[in-house]
Every structure is written in C-alpha cells, then in structure tokens.
Amino acid sequence: MPISFAASNEQLARANEAFYRGPATAPEYVLCALYSGLGQRAGIQDDAPALQALLDNYHPDLVEHGMLLLQKNQQAWKG
C-alpha cells in the first residue's frame, strides 16, 4: 500500500523540492501515484513544489496498477 507524505510547512516543501532538483540527491527512479490515500485527493495538494520538480526533471517509464514509475531525465536538468 502506498503511503502519502505531505509537506506541513513551506520549509519542508522547499526541502523536498531541493531534494528532487539536486542532480546528486535525486533518485534515478520515483514511484508515485497522483492521489493521496485519504479520500483520493490530488497529489498536488500535498507537496506542489516537489511535484513540479518531478514534472520538470523526470519522464514516465511505466504505469502499472495505478502507480506511475518516473525515471530521471539524463539531459536538460532544471535545478
């Protein structure tokens, strides 16, 4: 079962965004669903800056069972 984490303040939201924007810290793959577990809310409601970093720097690799596997782009990194 996926677990949803939400940034509870702006400082945490910026730290999450920096993690996914940093070429040295961002993981090669990210497994995500664009909804939260509670009430099927849109994921953008939980951590919009991190989601924007994923949209900028990753591409879809696989979709299975409602989950999206993203792979880090190898070029045109947006820091």
What pLDDT is stored for residue 78 in this prediction? 66
Amino acid 1: pLDDT: 37
Query: What whole-number distance in Å separates Cα of residue 78 and Cα of residue 53?
Result: 8
Is 69 within 8 Å of 31 (Cβ atoms)?
yes
Q: Where are the domains of the chain?
A: 28-79
Query: pLDDT per residue over 25-68, tens digit each?
Result: 999 999 987 665 555 555 556 788 888 999 999 999 999 887 89
> Is the pTM of the predicted complex or chain greater than 0.95?
no
